[in-house]
C-alpha cells in the first residue's frame, strides 16, 4: 500500500443516525475490533479492514482496553494504523474504548473504581497515540464499586478532555437508569449503551435496557449482531476449517451448534432467501427495524465481509408477517 487516500465518495451511501437525543451521528454499521486486531492477526489485513470500512463511510471504530489477544494489542495496532494511514482523517472518525474487565495484575486492573478507569484510559490513549477518545465506556456493571464513584470517574474523564462522550456497556435497564440520573447531575454527556443483541439473544428486550434506553433518549449500539457468525451462511453446511470455532474457540464453541440450533438457522436462512437477502444481511437489518438501535457493530476477518455487511443498506423494510416468522423460527 502506498500513502492511503480515502475514497472521495465515502459518505454517499452510508446512513447516519443521531445517537439518541444527542447531536452526534453514528454510521448504521460500525467496525468492532474485538477480534482480528490482536497480535495473532496479520497487520496488513488489519490495515485493509480499517481502510475498507472508512472508504465506505464507516467512521466509527470500537475498541476496549483488553481487546487482543494480548490485552492492549488491538489498541496498539489500531494506533499504528491511525499514525500510518488515517492520521489526517482524525476529525472524521469516532474512536471509542472501554474499561471494566480484567486488564492488569493486582487489585486496580479490573472493575469500576475511579483508580482503574482513569488509569486505564490514560494507558489506552498512550497505546493509540491519541489525546482523547470520542466515546469512553464503562464496560460492565460492577456490584463491588458504588455507582456514584464509577459515574464520577466518567464525568471527570470528560471534564479533563480525555473523552468527548461517555457510554455504558453490558448494563441492565434498572442500573442504567440509576447511572443516568447520576450523570445528569454532573451534566455529563452520556449518550449510548452498548449491549449484545441479535435475533437469538434478546436479553436487552427482557432486562429493560432497550426500553429504558429509548425512554431516556440514549442511543444503542449492539455487538455480536450475527451471533458470532451463526447468523450467516458460514455454518449452513457444517463447520469450516477457517471459522472462529476452529481458530479461536474462546467465545464460540462447537457444542453450541446443536441440531435444534442448526434447524433454526436453516429456517431463518429460508426467510432471508424469500426476501432476496443473505441471512447476515437480514439479521443486521432486523436489529435496525424499529429505529431504537443507532448502530450495529460488525466484526470482520476479511475486507469482503465488510462489503457483504454493507448490503444491509439495501432491501425492503420488514412486513409484520416476516417479523412474526423470524420470532417463530428463533424464540
> What is d(CA 306, CA 268) in angstroms, rounded to the nearest whole number?
21
> What is d(CA 153, CA 114) in angstroms, rounded to the nearest whole number?
5
**Residue 198 vs residues 7, 96, 230, 254: alpha-carbon distances, Å:** 31, 21, 11, 19
| Residue spans per domain, the chain | 16-229+279-318
How distant is the alpha carbon of residue 202 from its chain centre? 16
Question: Taking a C-beta distance cutoff of 8 angstroms, is the pair 231, 262 a contact?
Answer: no
Question: Taking a C-beta distance cutoff of 8 angstroms, is the pair 221, 58 a contact?
Answer: no
Q: Where are the alpha helices (DSSP H) in the chain?
A: 43-55, 73-81, 114-128, 147-159, 173-185, 203-206, 209-215, 244-247, 259-274, 279-287, 303-309, 320-330
C-alpha cell at 79: 494506533
CATH 3.20.20.100 fits 16-229+279-318, yes or no: yes
Question: Taking a C-beta distance cutoff of 8 angstroms, is the pair 188, 154 a contact?
Answer: yes
Confidence (pTM): 0.95
pLDDT in tens, the chain (331 residues): 578 999 999 999 999 999 999 999 999 999 999 999 999 999 999 999 999 999 999 999 999 999 999 999 999 999 999 999 999 999 999 999 999 999 999 999 999 999 999 999 999 999 999 999 999 999 999 999 999 999 999 999 999 999 999 999 999 999 999 999 999 999 999 999 999 999 999 999 999 999 999 999 999 999 999 998 899 988 888 777 666 655 566 656 666 778 899 999 999 999 999 999 999 999 999 999 999 999 999 999 999 999 999 999 998 999 999 999 999 999 9
**Residue 310 vs residues 31, 69, 166, 269, 278: alpha-carbon distances, Å:** 11, 27, 27, 18, 12
> What is d(CA 215, CA 234) in angstroms, rounded to the nearest whole number?
37
Q: Check residue 278 and give its pLDDT.
A: 94
The secondary structure of the chain in percent helix, strand, coil, rounded to multiples of 5, reads 45, 15, 45
Q: Check residue 257 and give its pLDDT.
A: 79
C-alpha cell at 201: 439473544
Q: Check residue 237 and give its pLDDT.
A: 81
Amino acid at each position: 500500500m502506498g500513502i492511503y487516500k480515502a475514497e472521495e465518495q465515502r459518505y454517499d451511501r452510508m446512513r447516519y443516525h443521531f445517537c439518541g437525543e444527542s447531536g452526534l451521528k453514528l454510521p448504521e454499521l460500525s467496525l468492532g475490533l474485538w477480534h482480528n486486531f490482536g497480535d495473532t492477526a496479520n497487520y496488513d489485513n488489519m490495515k485493509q479492514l480499517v481502510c475498507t470500512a472508512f472508504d465506505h463511510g464507516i467512521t466509527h471504530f470500537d475498541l476496549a482496553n483488553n481487546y487482543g489477544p494480548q490485552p492492549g494489542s488491538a489498541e496498539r495496532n489500531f494506533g499504528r494504523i491511525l499514525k500510518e494511514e488515517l492520521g489526517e482523517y482524525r476529525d472524521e472518525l469516532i474512536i471509542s474504548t472501554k474499561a471494566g474487565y480484567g486488564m492488569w495484575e493486582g487489585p486496580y486492573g479490573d472493575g469500576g473504581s475511579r483508580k482503574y478507569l482513569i488509569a486505564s484510559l490514560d494507558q489506552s490513549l498512550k497505546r493509540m497515540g491519541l489525546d482523547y477518545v470520542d466515546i469512553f465506556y464503562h464496560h460492565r456493571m460492577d456490584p463491588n464499586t458504588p455507582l456514584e464513584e464509577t459515574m464520577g470517574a466518567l464525568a471527570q474523564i470528560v471534564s479533563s478532555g480525555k473523552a468527548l462522550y461517555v457510554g455504558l456497556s453490558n448494563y441492565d435497564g434498572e442500573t442504567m437508569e440509576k447511572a443516568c440520573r447520576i450523570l445528569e447531575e454532573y451534566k455529563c454527556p452520556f449518550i449510548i449503551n452498548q449491549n449484545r443483541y441479535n435475533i437469538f439473544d434478546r436479553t436487552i428486550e427482557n432486562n429493560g435496557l432497550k426500553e429504558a434506553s429509548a425512554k431516556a433518549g440514549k442511543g444503542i449500539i449492539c455487538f455480536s449482531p450475527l451471533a458470532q457468525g451463526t447468523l450467516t451462511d458460514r455454518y449452513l453446511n457444517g463447520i469450516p476449517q477457517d471459522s472462529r470455532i476452529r481458530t479461536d474457540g474462546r467465545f464460540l464453541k462447537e457444542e453450541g451448534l446443536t441440531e435444534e440450533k442448526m434447524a433454526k438457522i436453516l429456517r431463518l436462512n429460508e426467510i432471508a432467501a424469500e426476501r432476496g437477502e443473505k441471512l447476515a444481511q437480514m439479521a443486521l437489518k432486523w436489529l435496525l427495524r424499529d429505529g431504537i438501535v443507532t448502530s450495529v457493530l460488525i466484526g470482520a476477518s476479511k475486507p469482503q465481509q465488510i462489503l457483504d455487511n454493507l448490503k444491509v443498506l439495501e432491501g425492503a423494510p420488514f412486513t409484520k408477517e416476516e417479523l412474526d416468522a423470524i420470532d417463530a423460527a428463533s424464540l
